[in-house]
Amino acid sequence: MAKRKAKVKVKSRIKTGLAGAPLDRGFMHYKDYIRTEVDKKDIAGLIRNYIRMHHTKDEIKIMFAASDWQFYLYTHVAATIGWTNLKLEFPDNWRPELVIDNYINDLMIEGNKRIAEKAASVDDSAPKSRSPMEILKIKTGDMLANIDDVIDDHVSNHKINNASTAFEELNIYSKFQKEGTAYNTAKASFNHIEKLTEEIELLLTKKDDQLTESYKFMKLSRQKVLLAFLIDIRDDIKRYMLNKKATRKTRAPTIITADRQVAKIKYCKESVEYKIQSINPVSIIGASQLYTFNTKYKVLTEYLTSSPKGFEMKGTTLQNLNSSSRSITLRKPEDILPDIQCKPISRINSIWKTLTTKQKTPNGRINNDTILIRVFK
């Protein structure tokens, strides 16, 4: 009698990706697994399938018009959808409906925006380029996704037992320099890494049960290596930000022409009573000394400035005055004003000393009663 062949037992393959997601350790561990162990395309597929199942054709068309990175970057949304599909219980502090609704709303906004941009580019003969803010947003999203990929590779590569080895391979500072990464992108990357660093630091204190459970798959020695790796990345980004800030071009101050500075000035062009006319107000700009006379209150004013730029005007107010500026009331303006118009400064100072009324400090305002008598450059 022939012997029966023994059945060969085929070892089942170890499940990976979404199929290997742990379900017995709670949502937070599941969420971290999605972030570190699942490919971008699987994350995007999970979110896209949810949208197909729960939204109309028109809504799907709008949302699918959004950028690709918006379907794989938000791993916490993918984890929330996956956990919801499994009909498992969430932690008390996690609001799945709010997480998904907020994400869908943002996706609708982005999708509509992209559709409008595409329509505009078709309508116009010359295609419109993206705004600097849009370009920055896209580059920042790509950079964050790239950094997450590197961290995920580090977590999954169990052969790396030294943070400096992995860090040298990444060399985030050189990468930022080579690509000319914008300061705001670097700042967003820093904030992202800082958050992860704080999470691992808290994990090592063993004061957070959820984190301890979530990172149970990682040995303590690996957790410490991961922390050192994150700190290296964070510090390198900070160095880049400091250097970027130090070499940032200072915006040159806008030079406002004399004509524009005096465009709104209100002054008295001529006084018939005192038989005196004002000079052109443009000549005030850049001058170091100005004499004015208020015809209503008979006040003579001497304005002085120590600024190398001389006087400037802002609206109807004289700028850059110094504390030596002075005003005084004239009893007989008709006797004093002709000398102010033509005499040298030394003679004017001598005349001023003979005046006996109380001297005041002017405020620089020029109005419809003000005669602009004379300037000295």
The residue from 126, 151, 168 where one domain ends is 126
pLDDT at 17: 76
Which of these, 300, 317, 315, lies nearest to 355 by C-alpha position? 300
133-171 confidence digits (pLDDT tens): 777 778 777 777 777 776 766 666 655 555 555 545 567
From 226, 247, 268, the end of a domain falls on 247
The answer to whether residues 343 and 299 belong to one domain is yes
Residue 196 amino acid letter: L
Do 52 and 120 share a structural domain?
yes
Query: Domain check: are 230 and 308 in the same one?
Result: no
Task: Report if residue 360 sits inside a domain.
Answer: yes
Residues 69 and 172 reside in one and the same domain: no
Residue 203 CA neighbour count, 13 Å, CB half: 26
Average confidence (pLDDT) over 27-41: 89
Beta-carbon contacts of 343 under 8 Å, excluding residues fewer than 6 positions away, are: 351
In a domain, 61, yes or no: yes
The DSSP annotation for 326-360 comes to EEEE-S-HHHHHHHHHHS-HHHHHHHHHH--SPEE
99 CB contacts (<8 Å, ≥6 apart)?
Answer: 76, 77, 80
235 assigned to some structural domain: yes
Residues 371 and 262 in one domain: yes
Domain that holds residue 309: 258-376
Please indicate, yes or no, if residue 45 is contained in any of the structural domains.
yes
Domain for residue 14, yes or no?
Answer: no
Q: In this model, does residue 328 exceed pLDDT 70?
A: yes
Residue 182 pLDDT: 87
How many Cα atoms sit within 13 Å of 224 on the Cβ side? 5
Whether residue 307 sits in one domain with residue 339: yes
Number of folded domains in the chain? Answer: 3
Is residue 10 predicted with pLDDT exceeding 50? no
Residue pLDDT, tens place only, 226-285 = 888 888 888 989 998 898 887 776 676 777 888 888 888 889 998 888 888 988 989 889
41 and 112 part of one domain: yes
Q: Do residue 237 and residue 265 come from a single domain? A: no
Mean pLDDT across 175-200: 87
Residue 12 CB-density burial (10 A; 0-12 exposed, 13-18 middle, 19+ buried):
exposed
Query: Does the pTM of the predicted model rise above 0.85?
Result: no
Burial (CB < 10 A; 0-12, 13-18, 19+), residue 250, is exposed
H-assigned helices in the chain = 27-37, 40-54, 57-63, 69-72, 75-85, 96-123, 132-156, 163-170, 172-179, 183-205, 209-214, 220-246, 258-261, 333-342, 345-354
User: Residues 326, 350: one domain?
Assistant: yes
Residue 300, pLDDT score? 92
The whole-angstrom separation of Cα 288 and Cα 213 is 74
Q: Do residues 196 and 292 share a domain? A: no
Q: How many residues does the chain have?
A: 377
Can you tell me whether residue 377 is helix, strand or coil? coil
Of 218, 247, 276, the residue at which a domain comes to its end is 247
Please name every residue paired with 329 in a beta bridge, in sequence order, or none if there are none: 299
What is the per-residue pLDDT for 94? 92
Pick the range with the lowest mean pLDDT from 3-17, 179-193, 252-266, 313-327: 3-17
4 within some domain:
no
Mean pLDDT of the chain: 83
